[in-house]
Chains A and B, each alone.
Chain A
């Protein structure tokens, strides 16, 4: 046994490192940039759809993190004397009923919208990744239980469920409460996606191959299934950010989302509806920002799908 091992140990081979790199016909290490994601990145960099949505998302993210970069005005420092001014050089977007600078409020509104969009998407993706990969990989009874519960949950309409929960359970409704409700209602769709993606990936030969070489289940899921199964999840998650932002706006508009004095686009639109004829700019600006934001994330999702889905290449 032991001399067999010795004869097999590669250390006995003549130092191979010395061989000059290069035999004929091999292009010099095409190397690192060959994987699915590197390919996707190379393709994305040249796509106008990706560049446009990328720039918009970066601007929106900056707006959310440092609104001070875009406006000096304090969105909460209002002068009733300035109520309902039309857009002017002093107040680019005009002012609202309270006389607050509408441009400042619109900029500050990005923070809530984007925070909710990203937070809800991240949390429901996490739930979906954990439960979905367990269900998809192990199958059997575990899968049946998870999948059926998901189906039942899936049947609750997001907005209707949101109205019921937000009205009946919470006495105050802030960013956290609204996010929580959207997470609770949002994960089933994502989970179904993860589960089906994992089930498809599980059938690949390299998963069998890893099993045949004694790799543990957990590591197979983490290293062999996840990196190959997440492409559609990334795409869907990106689109979901946009969808959640509009869902928050819808809830706020319906009066069950955020409450004043919070600053959010949905809330601004809600307040604006009474004065749509006298002060249309109150509806126009938050509506425009909301649409552009949702549009950017959906565009980004499409660009990612084109790049990550090999069938579309």
Chain B
């Protein structure tokens, strides 16, 4: 009971019941390394409500994972520094909280799962032990009781014969089962927010679908908010309510996921769509986005996507495009977003 009451303050401050679960505003993260300063996240903003899913979309190095680590407060510092912005959990600012308070938020309120569950689970302990560890350190349960709860959780994430499997080690599980173990660990403390960093990237397609539907089901049961970090547009369209598309540490497009999916208003989003095999459109060949993301140490002036952009023209090299309102709930960082969205409407 005490635990439930205690949930209503964070870092000694009462939470605001009316506030969204999580509000991230103009988050900025940089890494100061010998070669210079890498601006890994350059102004990321989004809001997450209960039962809602926000997808953060982008290719490797776009800053999507770093943004999530900043929310969790697990960026290695040095070299990483959160240099600006705000992360508010139910109205309470998390940035600047003392480390001990931050740690209490992790796991209890915001939990995280990682891409490759084989490397994200400790190879020398059985999975039951690892899930039980959560109850032992955060709830102070004795060993046996904690293990009992671990088995219950493993059943909840639908691991067959959970009781027997609790004594097995991570490498004895298949990829999908391992990801379930990770999900069980993350859910052990009833977090209100789950951050999933490419949870299905390391899995094959049928297993991907199972894991996504498990996450959706658990989200329905618990009402937790889900932040889904991915580079898979298909997954986004299926499960996300909101999507933030990132490129070179910046937001390039943001809005409700279906409109963004069907009618992208940024050439990069469009490129991501075209590089995806689709059932509804017959294509001979996939069209990859040409070139590669810019070196974050030396982002060219103007629009960072310019060198790869089929719509690029002179204005793009002069001025970094501001976020333009495409519709009341949607923005695009492209000078020529109108042209871009017309293109797709015609297709």
Cross-chain contact A29 with B164 (CB below 8 angstroms): yes
Cross-chain contact B186 with A13 (CB below 8 angstroms): no
**Minimum C-beta distance from B111 to chain A (A):** 6
- The stretch among B149-157, B238-246, B284-292 that forms the contact with chain A is B149-157
Q: A10-B153, A214-B107 are in contact. Are A208 and B114 (CB under 8 A)?
A: yes
- The stretch among A77-85, A216-224, A232-240, A262-270 that forms the contact with chain B is A216-224
Cross-chain contact A16 with B162 (CB below 8 angstroms): yes
Q: Is B12 an interface residue (CB 8 A)?
A: no
Cross-chain contact A8 with B164 (CB below 8 angstroms): no
Q: Is A211 an interface residue (CB 8 A)?
A: yes
List the B side residues contacting A213 at CB < 8 Å.
106-107, 111-112, 134, 185-186, 189
Cross-chain contact A7 with B167 (CB below 8 angstroms): no
Number of CB contacts from chain A to chain B under 8 A: 134
- Nearest residue (CB) in A for B223 is A4
Q: A17-B163, A211-B74, A211-B106 are in contact. Are A31 and B137 (CB under 8 A)?
A: no
Give residues 150-199 of B contacting A (CB, 8 Å). Answer: 151-153, 155-156, 160-165, 167-169, 171-172, 182, 185-186, 189-190, 195
List the B side residues contacting A28 at CB < 8 Å.
164
* B115, B133, B168, B223: the one within 8 Å of A215 (CB): B133
Cross-chain contact B120 with A208 (CB below 8 angstroms): yes
Cross-chain contact B107 with A35 (CB below 8 angstroms): no
Q: Is A209 an interface residue (CB 8 A)?
A: yes
Cross-chain contact A21 with B161 (CB below 8 angstroms): yes
* A29, A34, A35, A140: the one within 8 Å of B78 (CB): A140
Q: A214-B104, A214-B108, A223-B133 are in contact. Are A209 and B165 (CB under 8 A)?
A: no
- Nearest residue (CB) in B for A30 is B172
**Minimum C-beta distance from A10 to chain B (A):** 4
- Nearest residue (CB) in B for A29 is B164
Please classify how large the interface on chain B is, using the bins under 10, 10 to 19, 20 to 34, 35 or more.
35 or more
Q: Is B262 an interface residue (CB 8 A)?
A: no
- The stretch among B25-33, B121-129, B264-272 that forms the contact with chain A is B121-129
- Nearest residue (CB) in A for B108 is A214
Cross-chain contact A208 with B122 (CB below 8 angstroms): no
**Minimum C-beta distance from A64 to chain B (A):** 32
* A1, A34, A209: the one within 8 Å of B112 (CB): A209
Cross-chain contact B74 with A208 (CB below 8 angstroms): yes
Please, how many angstroms separate the alpha-carbon atoms of A206 and B182 in the complex? Answer: 10
List the B side residues contacting A139 at CB < 8 Å.
76, 78
Q: Is B18 an interface residue (CB 8 A)?
A: no
Q: Is B138 an interface residue (CB 8 A)?
A: yes
Q: Is A26 an interface residue (CB 8 A)?
A: yes
- Nearest residue (CB) in A for B114 is A205
Give residues 1-53 of B contacting A (CB, 8 Å). Answer: 4, 7-8
Residues of B within 8 A of A (CB): 4, 7-8, 69, 72, 74, 76, 78, 103-108, 111-116, 119-126, 133-134, 137-138, 149, 151-153, 155-156, 160-165, 167-169, 171-172, 182, 185-186, 189-190, 195, 221-223
Q: List 15 A-B contacts (CB under 8 A).
A: A1-B7, A7-B222, A21-B163, A23-B161, A26-B165, A35-B126, A36-B124, A206-B119, A211-B74, A212-B72, A214-B107, A215-B137, A219-B137, A228-B122, A228-B123
